[in-house]
Structure 1
Amino acid sequence: MPLAVGTFDPLISAGPALVWAVVLTFVFLECALIVGLFLPGDSMLITAGIVMASHATGETQVWALSIGAMVAAISGNQVGYVIGQRTGHRLVARKNGRYINTANLQRVSGLLERHGFLAVLVARWIPWVRTLCPMVAGAAHMDHRKYTVASTIGAIIWAPVLLLIGYYAGGFLERVPWLMPAVIVALVIGLIAGTAIGMRHYRQEMARPAEDFDVDAAVVAEAES
């Protein structure tokens, strides 16, 4: 039996204010703080774009939100860089951690050492690297101007692209009356579940024993290899 559009009206009508709040918060956290490692950022942006497609002012809203998401990403990157910079050259890893472990920090350090500017651009599209890169760049004292230019370009080609993919995909979904609300509900449920699971993994990660990761030593080791 087809799903009635009216069944999902409360959820669909919750945006765009709710969408703005979720998108800006998630994007900033993903780019600034360790907790962002465990948030479903890419799927959230696509979901937000699809939700925007269900509103009469969706096109205006999604383009405005793209700018807002870019600003949130750029701001988050700067906060992450400053956090890393203030740690000196040592970051805290987690023994047997899923993401915040010495192996992953070594990989990010290696990428920055070998590729610098390009690594910051590429990091935008790799979820766990996206969060760790700003802090590692700050701790490694990467040239701030170079980092800012690279991270800003990355923000411009990341958030808007995923939001617009979702928005224009939503335009196709709207051609089938019952399909759009069904897809929105499925995506929102998946997003909520992913966030809840991510927060559980975050607590488990933070509960693991801490160990120092020396960025300077990692850079020297990378140069010698």
Structure 2
Amino acid sequence: MNVETISHYINVYGYIIIFIFLFFGIVGIPAPEESLLFFLGILILHNQLSLILTLIFSILGAFIGMLTAYAFGKILGNSFISKYGKYIGITNQRLEKVKDRYSNNVHKSIILGFYMPGIRQINPYFAGITKIPFLKFVILSLIGAIIWTVPFILGGYYSGKVFNINPKYVPYLGVLFLFIFLISVLINYLKKNSTRIRQ
């Protein structure tokens, strides 16, 4: 989806389209996310959007998306895995091991998971499947939604002030963010392996 299309939808439908894009992105329906948030910051800079309303609808879109996916995971997750898990290599034994690890790292998984494409979409479903307490999930999801959306929007706003950013290239930033994330994961993996070898 290009910038012109996104701009058109925002102009026609207003702030609700920001909510919808981010909601869809969280529940797993392909939608521009990081690049959209960055682009919104640029639109705010050019007085095409309100900073406060953009932040509210962005946070709500991500947050409600998390709650919806959590509900699906809690209600349908276990029955889905029981029926189809064997076809994708998920046995009950493997699932129990993953549940234990997830429960021990749930704070990091939910909050920092927002910055990890793919993990961001799986997290709320798995939180529902593992029956993480709802209130705990609500708090962690809200914190995660805030610290994910706000920096990207402000990043677009302040980057637009410093650099003359052509909006046409903004969607490619999503690819750049994914590349940076994959490089950081690879570096951490290599560091851990080198530490194990030394020991």
Which whole-Å CA distance do the structure 2 matches of 1:121 and 1:46 have between them?
A: 19
Give the residue type in structure 2 aligned to 1:85.
K
- Corresponding residue to 1:161 among 129, 148, 151: 151
Q: What TM-score, normalized to structure 1?
A: 0.60
Residue equivalent to 1:125: 115
Q: CA deviation at 1:22?
A: 4.2
Paired residues for 1:34-183 under 5 Å: 34-35=28-29, 38-55=30-47, 58=49, 61-91=50-80, 109=99, 112-173=102-163, 179-180=164-165, 183=166
Give the residue type in structure 2 aligned to 1:45.
L
Which whole-Å CA distance do the structure 2 matches of 1:94 and 1:70 have between them?
A: 32
Change (3 A) 1:11 1:135: closer
Q: CA deviation at 1:170?
A: 1.1
Which whole-Å CA distance do the structure 1 matches of 2:42 and 2:98 have between them?
A: 32
> For 1:91-147, what per-residue CA distance to the aligned partner results, in whole angstroms no more than 9, with x for missing partners?
4679998xxx85xx9697565233122221111111111111111111111111111
Q: CA deviation at 1:14?
A: 5.2
Give the residue type in structure 2 aligned to 1:119.
S
Q: Give the root-mean-square deviation of aligned CA atoms.
A: 3.5
Q: CA deviation at 1:15?
A: 8.3
Q: CA deviation at 1:89?
A: 1.5
Structure 2: gaps (5+ residues) = 176-199
Aligned residues: 166
Q: Between Structure 1 and Structure 2, which shows a larger proportion of helix residues?
A: 2
Give the residue type in structure 1 aligned to 2:64.
S
Identity %: 22
Q: Between Structure 1 and Structure 2, which shows a larger proportion of strand residues?
A: 1
Which whole-Å CA distance do the structure 1 matches of 2:100 and 2:75 have between them?
A: 20
Change (3 A) 1:12 1:146: closer
Q: Is the 8 A contact 1:66 1:159 kept in 2?
A: yes
Q: What TM-score, normalized to structure 2?
A: 0.67
Q: Is the 8 A contact 2:10 2:18 kept in 1?
A: no
Which whole-Å CA distance do the structure 2 matches of 1:11 and 1:62 have between them?
A: 21
Q: Is the 8 A contact 1:77 1:151 kept in 2?
A: yes
